[in-house]
Chain A
Amino acid sequence: MNQILPGNQLAQGIVPSIFDISSPGARATDLPALDVPETALPASLLADQPPALPEVGQLDLVRHYTHLSQRNFSVDANFYPLGSCTMKYNPKINEAAAAMPGFTGLHPLQDDADVQGALKMLYDTRLWLAEIAGLHEVSLQPCAGAHGEYAALKVIRAYFNDPKGGNQPNRKTVLAPDTAHGTNPASCAMCGANVVKVPSKDGMVDLDALRSLVNEDTAALMITNPNTAGIFDGTITEIAKILHDAGALLYLDGANMNAIVGVSRPGDFGVDIMHYNTHKTFSTPHGCGGPGAGPIAVRDFLAPYLPVPQVQKAADGTYYLEHDREKTIGKVRSFAGQFGVLLRCWAYIAACGGEGLRNVAQTAVLNANYLGARLRSRFATPYFDPGANKFCAHEFITVPKDLLAKGVTLIDIAKRLIDYGIHPPTMHWPVHDCLMVEPTETESRATLDRFVDVMLQIAEEIENDTRTVNEAPHRAPVRRLDEVAAARTPVLTHKR
């Protein structure tokens, strides 16, 4: 018999697997009786029995997933200063909108005439994202940021492969800073492009190194700006010039758009092509890891290569999906994009307007600088020093070397934050032993202050009670998990 856990604090106990509570014959729902005559089933094609799914009653089903929901951190319940992930508040109206039957009931292959409202929303979003980027055309097709990178790189290759376009099929090398997101090189590899790392200097692209690496085989540089060290790279003019003089393109990874949305347009600082992460900048919820959406924006000369379908507006004011485009890279997914995600993105931009978006970026930057300024006495910030007029964008990194010298690891600090109900910042990236802190604009000053207080208290604990920090978390549903054993002997499914 399993151990019976005291009280009803399931957060402290083990929630049995749905398979553990399966009881043969239990049902959580039902269907109307079959109301048509039966047809003989094709015996040779049938499975002996249906898949061994769990069998539970409706109440146990509801309790099980309610219990699981109580064992998660979430933006609705917790502060998430998670660098590079932009964990801002996800407005409730956007969820209500996405659940409207007028949207959820639309089949993706219905005639355009049936879906005019949906197409209008997509068309507005297409225009707005182009206007925010300062670029000419947007494709809403990609499913997430990495998928946007992939689609954009395909567009770049198609452009250079086109005898009437870039006409330099040899341009197959993509440069990426050594601080780039891991998706950048991985997306390049999927396109058959070679990736060359560009070293950084003081958190910025090393311009001399960039000059020496750019040549007639370079297709593009994939840059994140503000960069992953949390600084807007002001040498962007020079960077763009180096690329463009060599006949290559400048690609912006839009992961950090929350620092500049409505304040500065990538197209103005030389970007030719970029992707957005709607689940970062435009507040579509992360959903435990998706769905996202990764629209891409391009300059006019790259537009002919965008994926299909594209949403268009006809002269008579009606909307339609364009399925053929002579030079398109083709399809990157089925149907017309992450519609439900893009709808939330639309509602968010419509609520903010141009002024609101500017306030979003400015407040995200204000909040990050405030946290940095309050924390840096105990948590060293290598690139952030307000006294020397060195500020951060919407996030900053701290490398708490002094504290780490006292017998704790970065992971210990991260796990101790969990005890205080705060999701740990991003760790060990873009440099080793750093925490990357991104508060976003939607947090109140009280929440920011509490985070500082907690961080300072953890610093005290490291001085006086190292063990408590070493052994954290103490107040999570589980203690520190053995991730090494999980990888050594993978158990990936419930065993009967």
Chain B
Amino acid sequence: MDYIQLTPQDREAMLRTIGVNKVEDLYYSLPEEYRLKEALKLSGLPTPKSELELQRELAEMAASNRPAAAGACFLGGGAYDHFIPTAVDALAHNGTFTTAYTPYQAEASQGSLQAFFEFQTQVCRISGLDVANASLYEGATASAEAVMMALNATGKRRVLVADSVHPHYKAVISTYLSDLPAQYISIPLKDGVVDGQALSKLLEEGRGDTACVVIQSPNVFGLIEDWTAHFNTTHQSQTPDGQPGEALAVAIYNPTATGLLKRPGDCGADIAAADGQPLGIPLQFGGPYLGLFSARQSLLRRMPGRLVGQTVDVNGKRGYCLTLQTREQHIRGAKATSNVCTNQGLLALRATIYMSAMGPQGLREVATQCFHKAHYAAQQIAALPGYSLAYSGEFFHEFVVNTPVPAQKIIDAGRARNIQPGLSCRKLGIGSENQLLIAVTEKRTRKQIDALVSLLKESR
């Protein structure tokens, strides 16, 4: 099924209108030697699949997976298994949202524009900053865009990145910085969190050439970083002749945590980036997710991505349109603030509906339950012989435990009980093979947590 509606009679009549005998004639400028003589042969696809065959094969493919979310899922590491209100799917699956184009024609796109305006407002409110865009791809690229914005805004070259940032995010920032006149510098850790003295020293060594300091909290170990102190240090840095250093503070945050903990803007961040996956987006094997991006008002004109603004029509009626487009690639080309064009509209819509459905009390409850359940699990596990918490700092909903046997052995043992006990810290590149990174969301029940504890207890 190629979803084409023309009948053979239509084709004939249309060719007659154009004045050619066959459709091949229309490819007049495509040299003969480049035309395939027969239809493409695609691997493992001898014939097109009918809709029924496709339904069967998709169901088979889905059934040959073991979805973590179907069991007791304690996997985190940047993607979290949260409760999603039914209304999110019901509303976001509406074809008038899924099949709409980017809202360049404002009068034909008031629905998505208003939703993105609400989204921008919500992102400002959860991040505690002044302006937010209408989304970027996902958390790691949003973090890299934050760094790029800091480089452009300050004209400086050094980028200090906490070693406790998620390894994928570090890798993407590093990719974005290579080939540019910029330097990636790691901020060392002490007991799993940023070493404040080391940060001061790096800022001093930078002699006023630091573009930004990037700190994620909760960090990749689940630990809560002292943003307020470190961003204060960042803002107090100076050039050798005593001028303000102008380094910007970049916070990578978890949107769920803002229901309970201080927000990036409350702690002095100038730019905040996050993955919005926890806001009503299923795990779906890593994508599509959602990049959240917000900043202080003074950085508005350096923002990457689309911005929706409120305005009025000729009758004075309120309406919305894309705005400040002179920042963007389709107007500014090589001088644009970013190359981003297509972003994550439908995921931004999901997050908007999720945040509206949860409200302040709902988000607080999600965050609070995550906190209590994770701490309950951590206490039970730390009490097991052979197990201990790897770090002593405060954590939110994720923590590292030292295990008496390789983490992979526990993960393999969990499969039979439909438990995903956590991520191997070695595999994720954040620790040893005898360490497990465990995330506990509001979706986990006490029964599931107790089953996890039993699994660990028996894995010795």
Say whether A170 faces chain B, with CB atoms less than 8 Å apart.
no
Q: Which A residues are CB-close (under 8 A) to B325?
A: 487
Question: B114 contacts which of A68, A149, A286 (Cβ < 8 Å)?
Answer: A68
Return the CB mask of A330-352 against B: 1 if under 8 Å, else 0: 11111111111100000101111
Q: Which of A75, A279, A340 has the most CB of B within 10 A?
A: A340
Say whether B230 faces chain A, with CB atoms less than 8 Å apart.
no
CB distance from B46 to the nearest CB of A (A): 8
A31 and B365 within 8 A (CB): yes
A289 and B87 within 8 A (CB): no
Binds A, one of B18-26, B185-193, B199-207, B239-247: B18-26
Question: B49 contacts which of A106, A353, A480 (Cβ < 8 Å)?
Answer: A353
Binds B, one of A207-215, A241-249, A363-371, A461-469: A363-371
Binds A, one of B97-105, B153-161, B382-390, B398-406: B97-105
Question: B306 contacts which of A283, A289, A491 (Cβ < 8 Å)?
Answer: A289
Number of interface residues of B (CB under 8 A): 212
Return the CB mask of A274-292 against B: 1 if under 8 Å, else 0: 0001010001011111111
A492 and B4 within 8 A (CB): no
Find residues 81-125 in chain B having any chain A CB closer than 8 Å to their own CB: 81, 83, 85, 87, 89-91, 93-103, 105-112, 114-118, 120-122, 124-125
Question: B110 contacts which of A72, A351, A442 (Cβ < 8 Å)?
Answer: A72
> How far is it, in angstroms, between the C-alpha of A378 and the C-alpha of B390 when the chains are bound?
74
B65 and A115 within 8 A (CB): yes
Number of interface residues of A (CB under 8 A): 205
> How far is it, in angstroms, between the C-alpha of A239 and the C-alpha of B57 when the chains are bound?
43
B54 and A93 within 8 A (CB): yes
CB distance from B175 to the nearest CB of A (A): 4
Known A-B contacts A36-B373, A231-B29, A340-B284; A423 and B108 likewise in contact (beta carbons under 8 Å): yes
CB distance from B329 to the nearest CB of A (A): 4
Say whether A53 faces chain B, with CB atoms less than 8 Å apart.
yes
B105 and A29 within 8 A (CB): no
Q: Which A residues are CB-close (under 8 A) to B63?
A: 102, 117
B357 and A28 within 8 A (CB): yes
Say whether A382 faces chain B, with CB atoms less than 8 Å apart.
no
Q: Which A residues are CB-close (under 8 A) to B353?
A: 61, 65
Residue of A nearest to B373 (CB): A36
Find residues 48-89 in chain B having any chain A CB closer than 8 Å to their own CB: 48-49, 51, 54-55, 57-70, 73, 75, 77-79, 81, 83, 85, 87, 89
Say whether A295 faces chain B, with CB atoms less than 8 Å apart.
no
Return the CB mask of B234-265 against A: 1 if under 8 Å, else 0: 00000000000000000000000011111100
CB distance from A399 to the nearest CB of B (A): 20
Known A-B contacts A71-B114, A333-B172, A358-B39; A260 and B101 likewise in contact (beta carbons under 8 Å): no
Find residues 279-312 in chain B having any chain A CB closer than 8 Å to their own CB: 282-289, 300, 306-312
Known A-B contacts A31-B362, A189-B336, A482-B311; A127 and B135 likewise in contact (beta carbons under 8 Å): no
Question: A353 contacts which of B4, B45, B356 (Cβ < 8 Å)?
Answer: B45
Residue of B nearest to A28 (CB): B357
Say whether B340 faces chain A, with CB atoms less than 8 Å apart.
yes
